Amino acid sequence: MRCPFCGQSDDAVMDSRPIDSAGVIRRRRLCKSCQKRFTTYERLEEMPLMVVKSDDRREPYDRAKLREGVLRACEKRPISIDTIDQLVDAVEYDLKDYVMEIPSRVIGEKALKKLHDIDQVAYVRFASVYRNFSDIDSFLAEIRNLKARRTRSKNPEDRASALAGK
């Protein structure tokens, strides 16, 4: 299990809770590299998290699909595969609060938020797909937003902590 704080995958399980009615097993883990504690929520295969699409259709959550979308947004940008996988891990970690269903929009926004701290071009590309910019005006509005936010906070955030959602 990859540590959401330092990204290492060397941890010890301290405590496991019995499976609950939603089919979720909770485990308290201790990262051996940074000594931080985190909780993982593991789902039984038979009870996948369902993603609710904007037209109300549902499909099982698919990590490959999210990763594919992020990869596409990051194409030809100076972003390593490892960074992308960490981003996907961090998004999945945030999904722990959702047990049965999650709106696809929520997943998209979580990924966007993390991309924002990594690469502005990838961020805008991803936003154009997920927010479904229907016209050039909403696209330009997002670019303006981005520029405004950039000038407001000039201090470079630590990427690792950005990925961990801190």
The distance of Cα 20 from the centroid of its chain, to the nearest Å, equals: 24
Contact 91, 111 (CB under 8 A): yes
Question: Nearest distance from residue 117's CB to Zn ion, in Å?
Answer: 19
Residues 25-44 interacting with Zn ion (rule: CB under 5 A):
31, 33-34
Out of 5, 93, 123, 126, the residue judged to bind Zn ion by CB under 5 A = 5
CA distance 159 to 166: 10
Question: Nearest distance from residue 35's CB to Zn ion, in Å?
Answer: 7
Q: Does 70 bind Zn ion (CB under 5 A)?
A: no
Question: Nearest distance from residue 81's CB to Zn ion, in Å?
Answer: 20
Question: Nearest distance from residue 40's CB to Zn ion, in Å?
Answer: 13
DSSP letter string, 70-110: HHHHTTTSS--HHHHHHHHHHHHHHGGG-SSEEEHHHHHHH
Q: Does 71 bind Zn ion (CB under 5 A)?
A: no
Q: Which is nearer to Zn ion, 35 or 138 (CB)?
A: 35
Q: Does 74 bind Zn ion (CB under 5 A)?
A: no
Out of 1, 6, 25, 52, the residue judged to bind Zn ion by CB under 5 A = 6
Q: Is the dihedral of CA 151, 74, 162, 133 positive or negative?
A: positive
Distance separating the N- and C-terminal Cα atoms of the chain: 19
Contact 30, 12 (CB under 8 A): yes
Out of 2, 3, 108, 164, the residue judged to bind Zn ion by CB under 5 A = 3
Q: Which is nearer to Zn ion, 5 or 61 (CB)?
A: 5
The site that binds Zn ion (CB under 5 A) totals a number of residues, namely: 6
CA distance 127 to 109: 8
Q: Using CB under 5 A as the criterion, which residues of the chain lie in contact with Zn ion when the complex forms?
A: 3, 5-6, 31, 33-34
